[in-house]
Amino acid sequence: MAKNKPKSALPDSQAIDWQRAVETSNNPSDVKIVPIFSIWGKGAVHESITKEAAKLAKVPYTTALEKGVEWPDVPSTKPGETNYPGLINGDLHKKGTITNNSHYGQNQFWHSMTPPGDFKNGDVLDKIVHQAVQWYEQAQKEKNIFHVGKILHIVQDSYSEAHTIRSKDGKIVTFQSYDKQDPNKHEKADVIPRWGTWRDVPGAISALQASTKILELYKSEASSKALEDYLRNQVFPFENGLTKNQPAGGTNPKYAPTIAENITNQNHYANLDKVLQEILISDSSAENKALMINRALEIASGHAQNAQTHTPTNNPEVL
For Zn ion, how many residues bind (rule: CB under 5 A)? 3
d(CA 1, CA 45): 9
Smallest distance, Å, CB 102 to Zn ion?
8
Relative to beta strand 164-166, strand 172-175 is: antiparallel
Does residue number 111 form part of the binding site for Zn ion (CB under 5 A)? yes
Which residue number, 136 or 159, has a Cβ lying nearer to Zn ion? 159
Give the residue nearest to Zn ion (CB): 111
What are the C-alpha distances in Å from 157 to residues 151, 185, 210? 10, 15, 11
Q: Considering only residues 257 through 316, tell me which ones interact with Zn ion, judged by CB under 5 A.
A: none
- Scanning 10-18, 155-163, 183-191, 253-261 for contacts with Zn ion by CB under 5 A, the matching segment is 155-163
Smallest distance, Å, CB 201 to Zn ion?
13
Smallest distance, Å, CB 182 to Zn ion?
16
User: Which of 66, 123, 157, 239 is in the footprint of Zn ion by CB under 5 A?
Assistant: 157
Helices (H) and strands (E) in the chain, counts: 13, 2
Which residue number, 157 or 239, has a Cβ lying nearer to Zn ion? 157
d(CA 100, CA 115): 12
Which residue number, 73 or 182, has a Cβ lying nearer to Zn ion? 73
- Scanning 109-117, 127-135, 253-261, 280-288 for contacts with Zn ion by CB under 5 A, the matching segment is 109-117
Q: Where are the alpha helices (DSSP H) in 158-201?
A: 183-188
Closest CA to 67 of 15, 138, 9: 9
Q: Which residues of 175-207 are buried (b: 16+ CB within 10 A; e: fewer)?
A: bbbbbbbbbbbbbebbbbeeeeebeebebbebb
Smallest distance, Å, CB 160 to Zn ion?
8
Q: Considering only residues 53 through 92, tell me which ones interact with Zn ion, judged by CB under 5 A.
A: 73
What are the C-alpha distances in Å from 139 to residues 102, 146, 149? 21, 7, 10
Which residue number, 47 or 157, has a Cβ lying nearer to Zn ion? 157
Smallest distance, Å, CB 43 to Zn ion?
15
d(CA 29, CA 314): 27
Smallest distance, Å, CB 36 to Zn ion?
8
Which residue number, 111 or 244, has a Cβ lying nearer to Zn ion? 111
Q: Count Cβ atoms within 10 A of the Cβ of residue 145 and give its class: 0-12 exposed, 13-18 middle, 19 or more buried.
A: buried
Which residue number, 111 or 120, has a Cβ lying nearer to Zn ion? 111
For residues 314 and 269, the answer to whether their CB atoms sit within 8 Å is yes
Smallest distance, Å, CB 153 to Zn ion?
6
- Scanning 110-118, 132-140, 251-259, 282-290 for contacts with Zn ion by CB under 5 A, the matching segment is 110-118
SS3 166: strand
Does residue number 186 form part of the binding site for Zn ion (CB under 5 A)? no
| Residue ranges in contact with Zn ion by CB under 5 A | 73, 111, 157
